[in-house]
Amino acid sequence: MRKLLLSAIPAILIALPSAAVADQASGDQLIATPLASDPFERPAASRAARAAARLARRDAKPEPEKVKPVSVSPALQTIANCESGGNPAAIGGGGLYRGKYQFSVDTWRAVGGTGDPAAAPEAEQDRRAAILYAQAGPGQWPVCSQ
């Protein structure tokens, strides 16, 4: 006969006079051990530590991603100088075009960028512009690629 130890049992079993209750269906003997406190309640110190950790994560500023610089082709250098004067934080077109290569947000995302192109590191903008140039050619910058 197997014995099963119950860590949390219904209140009705605690009231039984016997310390062991036989399960008639399986023949197992269930041993009732009442708990001193609520098994789901966590110590106050533990709750406070978790709350402090949550606040620390919320308030922590993420470290800037380290992006290796890429070699920028002369064609991309020309495009960047024409589009933004080479300024990676440039915003034009009433806010529609952003960064060194004046990406639209949709185009930026299509080449794997996340967030605001004008807030991305310059090396990341160079990398995404090189991807776009390789995929679609200079036609993405119709004025500045001529």
Tokens of 146: 């001529």
Q: What are the phi and psi torsion angles at 124 (to 5°)?
A: -70, -40
Please write the tens of the pLDDT for every residue from 28-58: 665 555 555 555 565 666 777 787 778 777 7
Mean pLDDT of 66-74: 77
Q: What residue ranges do the domains of the chain occupy? A: 1-34, 74-140
Q: Nearest-CA neighbor of 144 among 109, 111, 97, 110?
A: 97
Q: 16 falls in which pLDDT band (50, 70, 90)?
A: very low
Cα separations in angstroms, 6 against 14, 22, 23, 29: 11, 13, 13, 11
The mean pLDDT value for 11-20 works out to 45
> Domain 74-140 is of which CATH architecture?
Orthogonal Bundle (1.10)
Cβ–Cβ < 8 Å for 129, 78: no
Return mean pLDDT, the chain: 77
CB 132 within 8 A of CB 140: yes
Q: Which whole number is the average pLDDT over 70-78? A: 90
